[in-house]
Amino acid sequence: MPPTKQLKNKAIDAISKLPEDRLQEVVDFAEYLERKEEVEATQKILSDKKLLEGIKAGIEDLKAGRFKQWRSVRKNV
């Protein structure tokens, strides 16, 4: 597969040759791919039981006040 920069340049070149009325289709498809990636990432997180348990525990700790301010942690690093 070509490097990312080469692929981006190829996409830009192809898009620049399209008639104006087709540009919205390109934008719609690119946005679809972006949303699809976000949904897949969310599904991956939701299917990881151990990760979800950790997130829930972190939220409970936060609500219970069991946390440290980032500034105080940063000072000791």
For residue range 21-38, what is the model confidence (pLDDT) as tens digits?
899 999 999 999 999 999
CA distances to 29, 49, 53 from 61, in Å:
41, 18, 12
pLDDT over 90 at 49, yes or no: yes
Q: What is the pLDDT of residue 46?
A: 93
SS3 17: coil
Domain count within the chain: 1
pTM: 0.54
pLDDT over 90 at 47, yes or no: yes
pLDDT over 80 at 70, yes or no: yes
Domain range for 13: 4-75
